[in-house]
Amino acid sequence: MDATLLLMQGLNGLQLGVMLFLMAAGLTLVFGVMNLINLSHGSLYMMGAYLAASLQQQTGSFLWAILLAVPATLAVGMVVEVVTLRKLYDRDHLDQVLATYGLILFFNELVRMVWGPQARFMALPEALSHSVVLFPGMRYPAYRLVIIGVGLGVGGLLFWLIHHTRLGMLIRAGASNREMVNALGVNIKVLYTVVFGLGAALAGLAGMMAGPILSIEVGMGEPVLILAFIVVVIGGIGSIKGAFVAAVLVGLVDTFGRVLLPAGVSSMSICILMAGMLCWRPKGLFPAHG
Amino acid sequence: MLLEARGLVKHFGAMTATSSVSLAVKSGEVHAVIGPNGAGKTTLLAQLSGELTPDEGAVFFEGRAITSLSVPRRAALGIGRVYQLTSIFPDYTVIENMLLAHYSTSGHSFRFLRGFGADAGARTHSLEVLDQVGLVERASVAARALSHGEQRQLELAMMLALRPKLLLLDEPTAGMGIEETERVVGLLSRLKGEVAMLLVEHDMDAVFELADRVTVLVYGRVIAEGGVDAIRRDPDVRRAYLGDEESGE
Amino acid sequence: MKRPLPILLFGLLLLVPLCGEVFYTRLFSRIMIHAIFAISLDLMLGYGGMVSFGHAAFFGAGAYTVGILSLHGVSSALIVWPAAVGVAALLALPIGALSLRTSGAYFIMITLAFAQIVYYFAFGLESCGGSDGMRLATRNTVGGWAGLAGHTVYYHVVWGCLLAVFLGCRRLVGSRFGFVIGGIRQNEARMGSLGYAPFGYKLTCFVIAASIAGLAGALIANEALYVSPSFLHWTQSGHVLVMVILGGMGTLLGPILGAMALLLTEEVLSSFTEHWMIVLGPSLIVVVLYARRGLISLLPGRREARADAS
């Protein structure tokens, strides 16, 4: 494999990595702060993609579609939180897994009823549908570079939010000590709804950005969800930093695995990575809880 | 010497929970560890039982180094552990709890077919121990339905069923009413001589009634060690710990 | 009789083929196979306290064993079914050993991820038709006798398997091993201080549960006469969890009732609307939130299923 191809695949891996990070960030936050395993996180990814696709059809603009679909997914997330998930925070993980599994069934069927069973596609705007010359002899799709840029940007923003704002302080405090947050006079219910909405918006953003690359279809969130779980496990539950490092790692391993390994084995490279991590560090790279 | 700890040190981040603690328990002796809250008594006990590994120092049991052995391995050598918070099997009946303890001393439990309660010898022995702690008439009650004091008695009975050489007791009378406390202290004093005990306890009356020797721990450090009377008279101890106890009497 | 309910249930199941409709015979064959699958999960979930979201891996492994052996011309059930059980057990050994290094939420996600590896592996098995799966020409034979091809005969074989699994598991959970597993579920730290090393017992329970799931897999492949990656799909793991919870976990009759209730509900709902999942999903949430003790708690004179997980 020559250097150009290597670099191409590296960028592809990074692009998958930042998408996974957007998914995993929400999962790990919700887990770290509310102690909730949310299987339906993939449904929010799917909802983001479908909402953006519909909005693009209505408005005719890719940018408007994204700008409107993000708050829309945020709203969907908040409604889901208020209607069902809120009741699950003090339940055990088994209940959470079952109830959010029920949510997946619901969302998949809802999408099938509203948008039909056929896959949909999102068109890229003219400005992004070409390739750029990174250096002589290497062209790379502009849109994928945008994804990487947006992913890194959102990641940076999230890091700043968690570590340098009052909301972030509350989120971190909430992860370690609920009573303290309550004692600060903060309405913990509202905080939880906000955090969940934030995670939902990130998952939705990942979904809508994936729209033009992958087909938008029922159940599209589930493979991503499982990869995001692996990211969370490798990174350490509750850690944003861990989620980022692990997401890029998983993105790279998956991409290079597909290039370098025979077909049957390549899809397993991630899981082998995870198994190795488990032997080495059962609590993940950056365990947030002890 | 039955149990000996030499120079135990345990850090949690910047905090030193145990600071070069040494102590020794003879066979059949009751040794109490006292100290104010946060003195590191439970941490010390955890290093003796194997839940925590000390950063420095060594633990010996019957002359053998056990510092790196796991909890089950130490239990198999004859170290029984009674927790500060009641630790039983709530879904099982009292006798089932006892059988579980009993079987842990008799070979492996990869036995898939024979009924759990079918061993008459095990039942008889379990009932004897229950009789000893005064729970025999509650044998077929689910453990979760017992009162708090009864659950502590059951826990003690389970430990006795292991026929340990040493019992590590973390506040066995915590959260008990006066009557229940008396019952447990009475039971422990009847056991005295049969089994050695390392006792962490807040109730000074219980300590002075039961203990042969006392180690006083403050901020993870041993500030005094000796017989009960010597400890009572020790000015450092009075200042650091017993001061308010004395004035309260 | 001390336990009239299991006898009644198994007796009623014997009546199903008498109605003479192949549709019902096959439906209830499927229900009983899923009941075996659900019992196997309940062994580790309800008794062992291990919440696995990857149990379909072993179900699928059993099914694929039937498929792969049929490609090699091995069709005797006396070889194929034990092989299916063995393959599932061998697969469970490394998966269990790695997954059991973790607990709680990590365990759930890891079992899910491992099941996905197995799923992708089956997906890439070109010799078995890859993502489409493969058809089986006939059911397995017994010593050259092809009688299992008859749905009524096969129904009775499945019935016998379910009964054997039910009785075997009842024996197991009442044994010394079963009590140790339950003790670990209730209070793992205490088991350690009693001198039990939990890991070996949990792994053994994991492997036993997987083996029984492997048997269920072999049975479903024979019932449906095909194997496909859908047997390994993670929604299978979700479905079987739902059966256990719906029926009542920590009991052996519960998973049978749960399998029956879920598959019959699906059957009924799907006859009204193709979008029956839109009803099933929210009902599941309602069951989890408000009816956690399962169907078994509705039956008279039963010890209630436990509502707690770990």
The DSSP code sequence of C92-116 is: HHHHHHHHTTS-HHHHHHHHHHHHH
Q: Whole domain around residue C212: which residue ranges?
A: 20-232
Which residues of chain B does C199 touch, with a Cβ-Cβ cutoff of 8 Å?
none
Any domain includes C206: yes
- Shortest alpha-carbon distance between residue C297 and chain A (Å): 18
Asked if C202 has any chain B CB less than 8 Å from its own CB, the reply is no
Query: What's the distance, Cα to Cα, between the start and end of chain C in Å?
Result: 33
Compare all CA atoms of chain A with the CA of C276 and give the residue at the minimum distance.
A109
- Is the pLDDT assigned to residue B248 strictly greater than 50? no
For the ranges A13-22, A122-131, A248-257, C300-309, which has the lowest average pLDDT? C300-309
Full strand arrangement of the beta sheet holding B30-34: B79-82, B166-170, B196-200, B30-34, B213-218, B221-227
Subunit contact B111:C175, Cβ cutoff 8 A: yes
| Whole-structure pTM value | 0.86
* Overall number of domains in chain C: 1
Which pLDDT score is estimated for A120? 85
Task: Between B235 and C202, name the one with better pLDDT.
Answer: C202
Average pLDDT over residues A130-154: 85
Asked if C150 has any chain B CB less than 8 Å from its own CB, the reply is no
Compare all CA atoms of chain A with the CA of C234 and give the residue at the minimum distance.
A222
Residue A11: name the closest of A124, A132, A145, A154 by CA: A145
Which residues of chain A does C111 touch, with a Cβ-Cβ cutoff of 8 Å?
none
Query: What's the distance, Cα to Cα, between the start and end of chain A in Å?
Result: 42
Subunit contact A95:C309, Cβ cutoff 8 A: yes
Which pLDDT score is estimated for C127? 84
Compare all CA atoms of chain A with the CA of C287 and give the residue at the minimum distance.
A99
CB pairs under 8 A between B and C: 89
Residues above pLDDT 90, as percent of chain B = 18
CB nearest B114 (choices: C175, C196, C204): C175
- Report yes or no: C68 and C227 within 8 Å, Cβ to Cβ: no
Cα dist. C293→A93, A102, C245, C298 in Å?
Answer: 16, 17, 8, 9
Which residues of chain A does C101 touch, with a Cβ-Cβ cutoff of 8 Å?
278-279, 282
DSSP character for C131? G
Residues above pLDDT 70, as percent of chain A = 92
- Report yes or no: A18 and A152 within 8 Å, Cβ to Cβ: yes
Which pLDDT score is estimated for A178? 65
- Is the pLDDT assigned to residue A51 strictly greater than 70? yes
Any domain includes C291: no
Subunit contact B116:C192, Cβ cutoff 8 A: no
pLDDT tens profile B61-112:
998 999 988 888 888 888 888 777 778 899 999 999 999 988 887 777 788 8
State the chains in contact with A (3 or more Cβ–Cβ pairs under 8 Å).
C
Subunit contact A102:C292, Cβ cutoff 8 A: no
- Report yes or no: C192 and B70 within 8 Å, Cβ to Cβ: yes
- Shortest alpha-carbon distance between residue C292 and chain A (Å): 9
Residue C277: name the closest of A80, A204, A219, A47 by CA: A219
Residue C110: name the closest of B116, A231, B39 by CA: A231
Q: Which SS3 state, helix, strand or coil, does residue C291 take?
A: coil
CB within 8 Å of A14: residues ≥ 6 apart: A148, A248, A251, A252
Mutate to test the interface with A, among C107, C108, C288, C293 (most CBs of A within 10 A): C288
- Shortest alpha-carbon distance between residue A196 and chain C (Å): 18
Beta strand extents in C143-209 (DSSP E only)? none
Task: Between A60 and C61, name the one with better pLDDT.
Answer: C61
Subunit contact A101:C102, Cβ cutoff 8 A: no
Subunit contact C125:A226, Cβ cutoff 8 A: no
Asked if C195 has any chain B CB less than 8 Å from its own CB, the reply is yes
CB nearest C285 (choices: A103, A267, A278): A103
- Shortest alpha-carbon distance between residue C201 and chain B (Å): 8
- Report yes or no: C288 and A99 within 8 Å, Cβ to Cβ: yes
Which pLDDT score is estimated for A263? 66
Which residues of chain A does C285 touch, with a Cβ-Cβ cutoff of 8 Å?
84, 99, 102-103, 106
Which pLDDT score is estimated for A274? 81
Q: Residue B241: pLDDT band by 50, 70, 90 thresholds?
A: low
Any domain includes C152: yes
Asked if C180 has any chain B CB less than 8 Å from its own CB, the reply is yes
Asked if C2 has any chain B CB less than 8 Å from its own CB, the reply is no
Task: ipTM value, please give it.
Answer: 0.87
Please report the domains of chain B, with CATH numbers, ordered by start residue. Answer: 1-78+165-183+192-249 (3.40.50.300), 90-163 (no CATH)
- Is the pLDDT assigned to residue A76 strictly greater than 90? yes
Which pLDDT score is estimated for B242? 56
Q: Residue A288: pLDDT band by 50, 70, 90 thresholds?
A: low
Residues above pLDDT 90, as percent of chain A = 31
Subunit contact A97:C116, Cβ cutoff 8 A: no
Compare all CA atoms of chain C with the CA of B155 and give the residue at the minimum distance.
C190
Which pLDDT score is estimated for B247? 41
pLDDT tens profile B45-72:
899 988 889 999 999 999 899 998 888 8
Which pLDDT score is estimated for B201? 84
Subunit contact A105:C284, Cβ cutoff 8 A: yes
- Shortest alpha-carbon distance between residue A19 and chain C (Å): 19
Which pLDDT score is estimated for C172? 94
- Shortest alpha-carbon distance between residue C175 and chain B (Å): 4
Which residues of chain B does C192 touch, with a Cβ-Cβ cutoff of 8 Å?
70-72, 75
- Report yes or no: C208 and C51 within 8 Å, Cβ to Cβ: no
Average pLDDT over residues B33-47: 86
Asked if C310 has any chain A CB less than 8 Å from its own CB, the reply is yes
Which pLDDT score is estimated for A179? 66
Average pLDDT over residues A39-66: 91
Subunit contact A106:C281, Cβ cutoff 8 A: yes
Asked if C172 has any chain B CB less than 8 Å from its own CB, the reply is yes
Which residues of chain A does C120 touch, with a Cβ-Cβ cutoff of 8 Å?
267-268
Compare all CA atoms of chain C with the CA of A88 and give the residue at the minimum distance.
C289
Residue A212: name the closest of A25, A61, A62, A22 by CA: A62
Which pLDDT score is estimated for A30? 87
Low-confidence ranges of chain C (pLDDT < 50): 1, 304-305, 307-310
CB nearest C306 (choices: B75, B91, B113): B91
Which pLDDT score is estimated for C309? 37
Which residues of chain B does C306 touch, with a Cβ-Cβ cutoff of 8 Å?
91
CB nearest A102 (choices: C45, C121, C282): C282
Mutate to test the interface with B, among C173, C181, C194 (most CBs of B within 10 A): C194
Beta strand extents in B45-204 (DSSP E only)? 56-61, 64-65, 79-82, 166-170, 196-200
Compare all CA atoms of chain C with the CA of A226 and give the residue at the minimum distance.
C113
- Is the pLDDT assigned to residue A217 strictly greater than 70? yes
- Report yes or no: C195 and B77 within 8 Å, Cβ to Cβ: no
Give, for C234, the enclosing helix (H) or strand (E): helix C234-247
Asked if A282 has any chain C CB less than 8 Å from its own CB, the reply is yes
Domain-wise residue ranges, chain A: 21-119+144-218
